[in-house]
Structure 1
Amino acid sequence: MKKIIYLLIFLVVSSCAVEDDFIESQEVTDTIEEVSSKTMKPVTLIKAWDHNMNLDSGETFFLKKFTVKVANLGYEKKVSIYHKKQSGDWGEIPLSYSFNIDDQSEIWTTRLQTIGTEYVKEFVVKYEVNGKTYWDNNNGENYWVFTRPQGYRFGDNLKVSVDQEFSKIYYHSNQKRSFNILVDVKGNIGDNKEVGVVYTTDNWASYQFLSLEPRSDYGPVPGYYVISPNYFGIERWHNSVLIDKEVDAVEYAVVYKVDGVDYWDNNYGRNYRISKEF
């Protein structure tokens, strides 16, 4: 049994990472005006989401989510989404440090909810450290996203990503809980596809494999549906499985098999871990 556990851990932690390593710094920009003419530096967009829906009050609810990877070039740093407003002016959305991937790179994120604030459309990623400014501006093209109902846009290197917002353990009955998993994949890279989750409820003393199914849309709440595949070729895959009520937590990683190649989202070697809500 120990050999099985070690093999599983090796597969989950050592398989293909969520995305390739960042491209080393080639050039530094110093002014905002140079955004459109510079190429990617030691900062990389992982994924972006800008969603809105109309509330019963007549106001508009906006949800903005961004994940960015930066090279750890210094202790004091600032990472932000620099975006063009509807007025034509540019503004910044600050990101917060989430965790270290290793000694060389970090993940920074934000999840911003607002009422009645304009959406993000065109944007770049801005990274300030050691008195210098680096940009990821999509190789001079800048990034852009849709508001509802498009869902995530992936950076160039991302192939599969767990949507942690809707991957949860839910109450099902007095005897069972439901482990719900939602995954986004870049669907336009091949035709022969399989998406699945390797999970354990007993700290890898045993494990299971759950196949996921593609969804044409996903709407956890009214007005919050997402088209799949979306304009950027991102597909949503989903499934759920019943687990014993005594289970307090599930640890898991996701694999995306396409045209003979395996892509893993194992949370950068940390695996994902979720606990039951009650």
Structure 2
Amino acid sequence: MKKIILILAAIALAAQAYAADEIKLLRSRSTVSSKYGVSSQTIHFEALVKNLNYAKQVYAHLKRPDGSWVDAPLAYSRAADTGREVWEGSYTDPNPTNTGPSFQTFDLEFALRYVVNGVEYWDNNSGLNYKQGRDTGHLLIGTNVLASIYDLNSPAWIYNGHYYGAVTLKNLSPSKQVKVVYSTDGWKTSGTAWATFSNTYWSGGYSAAPNPNAYGAEEWNFQLDLSTTATKVEFAIGYIVNGTTYWDNNFGRNYTQALKQN
């Protein structure tokens, strides 16, 4: 019996692996919105996943307010660079008492779990787990700039030709610029818009999250002034700081958003 138990333990151990690049956290969000005495918490995760098989499951393994752990499923968002995909998803604590003025907000502790081909891969921040305060905005990992985008699989409504977006970046210096290079005709012509910074970025959602935050993340807004007949926009983000331009061009694909005019 002891030999069988040892064999089973070895099999279980072989089926788990700490990811080298199979799964990596891109960005997480935790904000608490409070209005008229009612609070709600927004929790969202984005992960970069190596495409090892079509059939796979990706989770944020999250510690709940009561100390138990739950797997919050993430869903396919879009293709990344060769052989990798972006997966993302949100989590709402199912405790029925977490509503109204008694809503229980909580600080995050989590890891990422990827199940494919009978193997589990983990990104647990080198064994430390990721930790994030409950009302802190974004935690940005492994990149210096990342756009906050609409669902690229569905058209975005625009009003009077205005397309609005946002970008998260690492605060590498007080002196910086953020540009958006865009085209609506397949790059026959292009334009450049400049993003703007506001330290009250999160207050529009009734959150007190600071901008920048304790993790060195900043949020910037941009507006693209497009033709009222435009049906598609492609764009990339350039973050200019310390004499270097860091690009977020959607892993070499550019961001391509179908448009609906209002």
Please state which band the TM-score falls in when normalised by the shorter chain.
0.7 to 0.9
Alpha carbons of 1:89 and 1:277: their partners in 2 closer, same or farther (altered >3 Å)?
A: farther
Q: What secondary structure does 1:227 align onto?
A: coil
Residue equivalent to 1:53: 33
Paired position in structure 2 for 1:244: 227
Residues 83, 120 of structure 1: 8 Å contact kept: no
Alpha-carbon separation, structure 1, partners of 2:151 and 2:201 = 10
1:43 to 23, 31, 35: 23
| Equivalent residue runs for 1:86-235 within 5 Å | 86-112=65-91, 116=99, 119=106, 121-148=108-135, 150-155=136-141, 157-165=142-150, 170-171=158-159, 176-187=160-171, 189-219=172-202, 221-224=204-207, 226-235=209-218
Query: Per-residue CA shift, 1:220-245, capped at 9, x if unaligned?
Result: 74514642101111111223243332
Deviations 1:49-68 (A, max 9, x none): 12222354x55323221111
Q: Which residue of 2 aligns with 1:22?
A: none
Structure 1 match to 2:7 = none
Deviations 1:111-142 (A, max 9, x none): 34567475461111111122221111111221
Conserved in 2, the CA contact under 8 Å of 1:71 and 1:104?
A: yes
Percent identity between the two aligned chains = 28
Question: Bigger radius of gyration, 1 or 2?
Answer: 2
Structure 2: gaps of 5 or more residues: 1-10
Say if 1:29 and 1:47 are closer, same or farther in 2 by CA, change over 3 A: farther
Q: RMSD across aligned C-alpha pairs, in angstroms?
A: 3.0
| Distance (Å, rounded) in 1 between the aligned partners of 2:105 and 2:71 | 13
1:69 and 1:166, CA in 2 relative to 1: closer, same or farther beyond 3 A? Answer: closer
Contact 2:182 2:236 in 1 (8 A): yes
CA separation in 2, counterparts of 1:97 and 1:120? 26
- Is the contact between residue 31 and residue 209 of structure 2 (CA under 8 Å) also seen in structure 1? no
2:58 counterpart residue number: 79
Contact 1:255–1:262 (Cα < 8 Å) also in 2 = yes
- When residues 202 and 221 of structure 1 are mapped into structure 2, their CA distance, relative to the original with a 3 A threshold, is same
Distance in 2 separating the partners of 1:205 and 1:132? 46
How many residues matched? 239
Do 1:41 and 1:134's aligned partners in 2 also have CA atoms closer than 8 Å?
Answer: no
Structure 1: runs of 5 or more not aligned: 1-27
Amino acid at match of 1:60: S
